[in-house]
Structure formats: structure tokens, C-alpha cells
A and B are shown apart, each in its own frame.
Chain A
């Protein structure tokens, strides 16, 4: 057996889901005996069979990836409860095993996967999807790239009709059906509590369940961003969200504002002041950077 064939055989076995009792399955996905598969390439020793030696790696794999996934999505766990969350995690990781050198990216395909697999969350599908999108945006905001922010002077000199502003790469704009930002902050607050007796864990679970049960749909617009190396969830007005989204899609500032205000019920007289107010806030948070094309042009002229 050559190196590639051996590694494929081993990886297939190691990544096969465990039984509910956390043992290695006795049959492969195509119905072969796992004992025979293991014995075909792994030596037994005086204490362990080939199957048992392979099982050590099979367990380590699943414990590692499930633990990493659980750490990244405590909000989804709170929404679904432990049992459904674990079923979802195993199904997701089986369908979307890591394709990155870092476990940081393990959950990158979860929102997309959830859209295609609504059955795992049942009646809480929309809520689960919102939470998964928020938690993935949180990961992106935590360590995503930051470009040099435009200065107040750069922005003051910008021609609204022509300027294309780019948002910092670490920012995600989310239109959500549920106010999952508050729920996630509560989940984290509880997890930060220093002690965890069994009684406390049970109380925590009951609190999660009642918080989720009480949560009613209430559309929100959110910017998940970073300031001073901490991640924040900033609620946005609809118009504010649409302007930022327009900019994110490459619209000029003028067009982005115009499109966002078309459906707005905001009194005409209030609009200029409101836009200025938002703009000042975004600029003070360093959300804008120059568009890639503009940056390249500036670099060339400087050279």
C-alpha cells in the first residue's frame, strides 16, 4: 500500500462518526467490517487490537473537532439545547470536514449548511440560522484583517457623488429576524461565571431555555465590528444599514444614501443631519478604508 492509499484509508476511518456510546463503529459507511479494515493496515500489540488502536485516533478526532465547534457556537447550543446541538455538530462536521490548516475556520460553512438542512433546528430554524450567522461574524471580527482607516480629513475631502468607500474587512453587516445579539451576550455572561456546580449548570440550562422560549421575532440590523481589539455588536437603523451595505457593494456614497432613503419614512428635513451623525460615528470607529483600486492608484502616484 503506498503512502497516499494508506493515508486515505486511515483518514476515512478516523473521520467516521462515533457510535452514540463514543466508540468506533463496527461497520464502515459501505458496510465492511471495521475490524477487518483496521487489521488490513494497523498492527495489533499485546494489549490492543488493530481496531482499538485505530479507535484511539477516531475518538481523538471527534472529541477535538466537536470541542472546537462547541467553543465557537455557544449561542447555537443555547438555542438548540445540548442533544440537538450535538446532532447538528456531528452532521455538519461529517458533511463539511475542515479544509483549513486551522480549526478557526471549522464553522465557516455552518450558515450556508443550515440553510440547506433546516430539519436539525425544527421550529427554531430561523433563530438558529441567525445565531450561527452572528457567531461566525464574531469570529471574523475577532481576527479579521484591518486596513489603515481613512482619516477625518480624507472623509471631509471626499466627493459624495464619486467617492467609493470600503468597509474594514473585519466588519459584517447582518439583517436578522431575531434579536440574537442580546441572547448571545447573555449566554456568554453566564459562561463567564467562574464556578460550575451541577446545580448551577442545570439552572443555567433552564435560563437558556426560558430565554429562547421568550424570544420573539423582531428584525434587527447589526454591524459586527472590532474596536480596540474587542468585538462589538452595534445595532443599526434600517437606513444606516442600507447605506453601509451599498458602500460594501461598491456604490458611491451618493448613490448608497439615495437608495437607502428611497423607502425611508424619516422626515426629509431630518435626513441630512441624521446621515452626518451616522457618518461621524462610523468614521470615529475607523470603519472606512480606501477602495482597493484607489489605494493602488495612490501607491503608484506616490512612487
Chain B
């Protein structure tokens, strides 16, 4: 049973990101993994080894695409070449849904390759929602948007981040990839209660959840995806699952990547909370 209308993939349990250092282990040992998330841009190429490996993975595993540079929130128009390549990859992977970030990163055709924070304005929400709809109409799969971690806020903002997220997803009528680590990072950098964020996200739109680790500096926290998940983030995850129900969950580990087993075992800790959600439902 789907937990909500954007979450038709309850059978997707706990996945991990597909990363090059694990290719050999996965292809030779064939570990049992619910699903892999790929960074779309790594495979939006014309040929060569990355696509051959992806095809081998697709033969054996379920794969979901996650993008990092669609930049729904950039004021400029969508990049048509990007869209065409994305659609080609969607046909290859048969991804059941497609995610990218609620952020911007390019202007006047120049790319920062960063996930830059949005100004939380109605103008930005309208423009962003319009672009999400355009992408969904073009690629013809459900699109879900992920909240990013941020280190700066703008004077022009007219609402909180979660209010902005709600505004965008309502206007675009799309799902949410709720990254609870990003919520935690931003809450520390901007001094708000992360539980307020989790409690105010529309539960009926959460299609997927991200968990990850981060790095703490003296005056701020950086979203580095290079550590295990900390307890406060697990608590946010537990609350999210309590509100949303059983939801496809993915651990991101992108830097100082340890062994496959270590990453997978860290991800599987999420099952403690997912099983609880299943039991509650059954009861």
C-alpha cells in the first residue's frame, strides 16, 4: 500500500548511492540491496564504460535517478540539451521517479556546480514550480524535489524554508525528497528547530527520504556526506517516518567513501524505524 499518492514505491526499502569505488564489489559479489540511487549527470553521456557498468547494474538491481544540476530554481530557462539527455537516461534506467534539488546554480549560462540556496519569495516559488512542471512534462516520470542544506539566507525572503518548500510543491503538484540531514545542517546554520521543519512538511507529498552525515566546523556545519548519520538526524528520520509512513530511504555517502559493507550497514539502520512504521500500520 502506498503511504501517499506520491509514494507508490513502498516496496523500495533502504537503498544506497551507486558510487564508482563500489562497482567491483557490487558486480562481483552481487550483494542484496533494495535499490541504488544514481547521480543522473554521471550517466548522461554518449557511451563508454560508465554506461556499460550502469547496464550491468540495471540487469540486477532497481535504480532511481537523482540529479544535481537541473536547477529548478534558476531564473533562466531549462537547458534543452540537459533535458534531452535526461530523458534518454530515464528510458534506459526506467526510473520510477526522478529527483533533483530545490535550489539554483546557474545564471546567464554559467554553472557554479553548487546547490545554491533559494530566496524564499513568491516570485521564486512560482518560477521554480513552473520549471518543475516543464521537466515532468518532458521526461514523463514523476518529479520530486529535495530540500538542500544551506549556509546563507537572503534579506528578500518572505517565508521560512519549509513554507517555501510547501509553496513550490503545491504549485507544481509534485512530491518531496525529504533530506533530514539537510534539515539538521540548515537548522544549525540558521538557528531553527529542525523538528518544526519536519512537522510542517506536507506528509502526503513525501516520496523519498535522504539520510547522510556531515562535518561540523567552529561556526557552521557543512553537508559533506562523509560520515555516519548522527543521532539527532536519526531522530528527525524517526519523526518523518512516523508522519509519512513507510518511505523509500537512501543513505548518501559521497566523500571518504568506506567499504561497501560499511555504507550498506549504515543505511540498513533505517530499517529499525521502517519496521516500526510497518508494525504500526499492521496494528
The CA-CA distance from A54 to B114 in the complex, in Å, is 13
Would you call B119 and A169 a contact (CB within 8 A)? no
Is there a chain B Cβ closer than 8 Å to A161's Cβ?
Answer: no
Contact of B46 among A50, A61, A64, A169 (CB under 8 A): A169
Q: Which residues of B67-91 are within 8 A (CB) of A?
A: 69-70, 74-76, 79, 81-82
Is there a chain A Cβ closer than 8 Å to B59's Cβ?
Answer: no
Interface size class of A (residues with CB under 8 A): 35 or more
Choose among B41, B48, B114, B119 the residue with the greatest number of A CB atoms under 10 Å from its CB.
Answer: B48
Would you call B220 and A43 a contact (CB within 8 A)? no
Is there a chain A Cβ closer than 8 Å to B32's Cβ?
Answer: no
Chain B residues whose CB sits within 8 angstroms of the CB of A145 once the complex forms = 46-47
The CA-CA distance from A102 to B85 in the complex, in Å, is 12
Would you call B151 and A143 a contact (CB within 8 A)? no
Give the shortest distance, in Å, between B47 (CB) and chain A (any CB). 4
Would you call A100 and B111 a contact (CB within 8 A)? yes
The CA-CA distance from A48 to B189 in the complex, in Å, is 9
The interface bits of chain A over 22-64 (1 if a CB of B lies within 8 angstroms of the residue's CB, else 0) are 0000000000000000001111011110101110110011001
Give the shortest distance, in Å, between B127 (CB) and chain A (any CB). 6
Q: Which residues of A208-237 are within 8 A (CB) of B?
A: 226, 229-230
User: Please, how many residues of chain B have a CB less than 8 angstroms from a CB on the other chain?
Assistant: 46
Is there a chain A Cβ closer than 8 Å to B60's Cβ?
Answer: no
Chain A residues whose CB sits within 8 angstroms of the CB of B110 once the complex forms = 11, 15, 97-99
Contact of A3 among B41, B81, B106, B123 (CB under 8 A): B123
Would you call A101 and B47 a contact (CB within 8 A)? no
Chain B residues whose CB sits within 8 angstroms of the CB of A99 once the complex forms = 109-111
Would you call A7 and B104 a contact (CB within 8 A)? yes
Would you call A6 and B119 a contact (CB within 8 A)? yes
| Residue of B with least CB distance to A103 | B113
Would you call B153 and A10 a contact (CB within 8 A)? no
The interface bits of chain B over 35-49 (1 if a CB of A lies within 8 angstroms of the residue's CB, else 0) are 000000100111111
Is there a chain B Cβ closer than 8 Å to A2's Cβ?
Answer: yes
Given contacts A11-B107, A41-B154, A100-B111, contact A143 B190 (CB under 8 A): no
Would you call A43 and B153 a contact (CB within 8 A)? yes
Give the shortest distance, in Å, between B49 (CB) and chain A (any CB). 4
Is there a chain A Cβ closer than 8 Å to B258's Cβ?
Answer: no
